[in-house]
C-alpha cells in the first residue's frame, strides 16, 4: 500500500472506490445507487468548472471569512519550553468551526443540482449549525438529524440551528449520538433523494461524500501553507501538524496541501474517560476493519462484530469509525495516530484558554493535549502547529460541570 505523489489523496482509489484496496467503497442499498451516481458525476464536473470554483472561492472569502488566522502561541511556548507552538485558528471562521467549508460547498452543489431541500447529520452540533446557516444564506430548506444525547449536551449549537430556521430531528435510537444521526439521515435521504440533497458532516460515508468534504476542508491547508512560507520563508524541516480526528474532516483539510512535503502528521483520537475501557479511538486501539455508513474502515466493534460502545467528553469525536482516508494514511504510515483522554483534553483546554487569547472546544483540546505532551521533548527549532478547529462556547455547560468554571 503506497501513497502516490502529485495525485490528490481523494482520487487515489481503485474502480471500486477503495483506497489501498482495503478502505472505503460504496456499500450502499440499490435505491441509493442512482442518486449517488448522479452526485458523483455532478461533482466530477463541478470540481473542474472554473465558474464554480470562482463562486466557491468568493464565498470562502466573503462568507466563511478566510483566510483564518495563523498565530504563534508565545505564552504556551514559553510555559512548556521546547518546540515553538502555533495555532491555525479555524474557529475564527464564520460560525466558529471548520464545518462551514463543507456546508457551504454542499449548498452550492445542491443549488446546481436544482434541489430545494438539504439534510445533514451532526454530533457536536457544528456541522448542523453550519448547514443551517449556509442553507439560510443560499435559500434552501434544512433538516438536521441529531442524537438526543447530543441535543442535551451541545445546547448553544442547537439554539443556533433553530435560529437559522432548521428543523431538528432528534434521533432516539442506539447511543443517541453522531453514529445514529448519520444512519437516520441516510435512511431519510433514501426516500427523499428526488427533491433533497444530503450533506454528510465529515469525511465518512459513501465515497462521494468523503470526496466533497475533503475537497472543501482542503481550503484550510491551502491557506496554511502560504502562511507558513510567509512566517518561515519556507516549509520548516521539522514541522508537526497536529489535528484531532473524529470522522477526520478537519485533519484531512489541515494536511492535504502538505501531503508531498516532509511535514509530520499526528492525528489525535478521543481516548475517553481515564479509568474507563470506553473510548472513540479506533486507530490507536487496533480496531478491526468493518463496514460503517457505506464504507470499509477501522471500526470499534464488539465480539459479535456489532458496532461497539464508545465514550468521550467531546461529542464531535464520538464516532466508532474513522474516514477511509485516515485508515489509508495510517496503513501507509504517512500519518500516525495517538489518543488523549477526557481529562487530558479538559486540562489542555484550561491551560490554553488561561495563557492565550483563544479558547479551543473539547475536540481540538485533544490535539492541544498532545502538543503539551510532546513540546517539552522537542528542540526550539521544531515547529508544532495545532488546528484549533472549534470554539469552546458550545462546551460551556460541560466545562463548567467538569472543571467548575468556564474561561473564554
Ligand atoms: C470543532 C470540531 N472539531 C472536530 C470535530 C470532529 O470531526 P472531524 O474529525 O470530521 O473534523 C468536530 C465534529 O463535530 C467538531 O465540531
In sequence order, what DSSP letters do the residues of 212-235 get, joined into one string? HHHHHHTHHHHHHHHHHHHHHSS-
As for ligand 1, residues whose beta carbon falls within 6 Å of it are 97, 123-124, 126-127, 202, 244-250, 316-317, 361, 363-364, 389-390
Average pLDDT over residues 188-213: 97
Q: Look at residue 4 and give its three-state secondary structure.
A: coil
**CA 227/CA 88 separation, integer angstroms:** 9
The CA distances from residue 2 to 95, 243, 264, 322, 329, in Å, are 37, 22, 17, 19, 9
Instruction: Please give the mean pLDDT across all residues of the chain.
Output: 97
Average pLDDT over residues 380-387: 98
User: Half-sphere exposure of 204 toward its Cβ, with a 13 Å CA cutoff?
Assistant: 28
Distance from the alpha carbon of residue 98 to the mean position of ligand 1, in angstroms: 8
Q: Which atom of ligand 1 is nearest to the CA of 390?
A: 1
Q: What pLDDT shows up at residue 408?
A: 86
Q: What pLDDT shows up at residue 215?
A: 98
Question: Is the confidence at residue 98, as pLDDT, over 90?
Answer: yes
Percentage of the chain surpassing pLDDT 70? 100
pLDDT (tens digit, 9 = 90+) per residue, 317-367?
999 999 999 999 999 999 999 999 999 999 999 999 999 999 999 999 999
Cβ–Cβ contacts within 10 Å for residue 29, how many? 10
Task: Note the CATH number of domain 65-96+218-284+313-403.
Answer: 3.40.50.1100
Q: Does the model's pTM come out above 0.85?
A: yes
Q: What pLDDT shows up at residue 151?
A: 97
Distance from the alpha carbon of residue 389 to the mean position of ligand 1, in angstroms: 7
Q: What pLDDT shows up at residue 56?
A: 98
Percentage of the chain surpassing pLDDT 90? 100
Cβ–Cβ contacts within 10 Å for residue 361, how many? 30
Distance from the alpha carbon of residue 311 to the mean position of ligand 1, in angstroms: 15
Average pLDDT over residues 291-311: 97
The bridge status of strand 70-72 relative to strand 23-24 is unpaired
Assign domain 21-60+98-214 to a CATH class: alpha beta
Which of 71, 97, 92, 73 is CA-nearest to residue 356?
Answer: 73
Residues of the chain with CATH 3.40.50.1100: 21-60+98-214, 65-96+218-284+313-403
Can you state the angle between helices 324-331 and 207-217, rounded to 10 degrees?
Answer: 80
**CA 323/CA 29 separation, integer angstroms:** 20
Q: What pLDDT shows up at residue 78?
A: 98
Nearest CA to ligand 1 atom 13: 316
**CA 27/CA 204 separation, integer angstroms:** 12
∠ CA 73-356-365 to the nearest 5 degrees?
Answer: 85
Average pLDDT over residues 116-141: 97
The CA distances from residue 104 to 107, 132, 150, 359, in Å, are 5, 10, 23, 24
Amino acid at each position: 500500500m503506497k501513497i502516490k505523489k502529485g495525485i490528490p489523496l481523494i482520487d487515489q482509489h481503485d474502480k471500486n472506490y477503495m483506497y489501498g484496496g482495503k478502505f472505503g467503497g460504496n456499500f450502499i442499498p440499490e435505491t441509493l445507487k442512482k442518486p449517488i451516481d448522479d452526485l458523483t458525476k455532478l461533482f466530477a464536473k463541478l470540481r473542474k468548472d472554473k465558474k464554480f470554483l470562482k463562486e466557491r472561492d468568493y464565498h470562502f472569502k466573503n462568507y466563511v471569512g478566510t483566510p483564518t488566522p495563523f498565530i504563534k502561541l508565545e505564552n504556551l511556548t514559553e510555559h512548556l519550553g521546547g518546540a515553538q507552538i502555533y495555532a491555525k485558528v479555524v474557529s475564527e471562521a464564520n460560525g466558529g468551526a471548520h464545518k462551514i467549508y463543507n456546508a457551504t460547498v454542499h449548498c452550492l452543489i445542491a443549488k446546481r443540482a436544482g434541489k430545494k431541500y438539504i439534510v445533514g447529520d451532526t454530533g457536536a452540533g457544528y456541522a448542523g449549525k453550519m448547514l443551517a446557516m449556509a442553507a439560510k444564506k443560499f435559500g434552501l430548506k434544512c433538516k438536521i438529524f441529531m442524537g438526543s444525547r447530543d441535543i442535551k449536551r451541545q445546547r448553544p449549537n442547537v439554539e443556533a440551528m433553530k435560529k437559522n430556521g432548521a428543523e431538528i430531528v432528534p434521533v432516539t435510537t442506539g447511543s443517541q449520538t453522531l453514529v445514529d444521526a448519520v444512519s437516520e439521515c441516510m435512511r431519510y435521504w433514501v426516500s427523499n433523494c428526488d427533491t433533497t440533497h444530503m450533506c454528510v458532516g465529515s469525511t465518512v460515508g459513501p465515497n462521494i461524500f468523503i470526496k466533497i468534504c475533503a475537497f472543501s476542508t482542503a481550503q484550510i491547508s491551502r491557506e496554511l501553507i502560504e502562511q507558513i512560507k510567509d512566517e518561515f520563508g519556507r516549509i520548516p524541516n521539522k514541522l508537526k501538524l497536529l489535528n484531532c480526528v473524529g470522522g477526520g474532516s478537519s485533519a484531512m483539510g489541515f494536511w492535504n496541501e502538505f501531503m508531498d512535503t516532509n511535514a509530520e502528521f499526528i492525528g489525535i483520537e478521543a481516548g475517553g474517560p481515564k479509568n474507563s475501557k470506553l473510548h472513540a479511538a479506533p486507530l490507536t486501539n487496533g480496531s478491526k476493519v468493518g463496514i460503517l455508513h457505506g464504507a470499509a474502515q477501522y471500526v470499534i466493534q464488539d465480539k459479535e462484530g456489532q458496532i461497539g460502545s464508545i465514550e468521550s467528553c467531546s461529542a464531535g469525536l464520538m464516532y466508532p469509525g474513522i474516514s477511509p482516508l485516515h485508515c489509508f494514511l495510517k496503513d501507509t504510515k504517512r500519518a500516525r495516530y495517538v489518543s488523549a483522554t477526557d481529562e487530558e483534553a479538559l486540562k489542555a483546554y484550561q491551560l490554553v484558554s488561561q495563557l492565550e487569547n483563544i479558547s479551543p472546544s473539547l475536540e481540538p483540546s485533544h490535539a492541544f493535549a498532545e502538543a503539551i505532551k510532546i513540546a517539552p521533548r522537542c528542540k526550539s527549532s521544531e515547529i508544532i502547529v495545532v488546528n484549533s478547529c472549534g470554539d469552546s462556547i458550545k462546551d460551556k455547560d460541560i466545562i463548567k460541570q467538569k472543571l467548575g468554571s468556564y474561561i473564554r
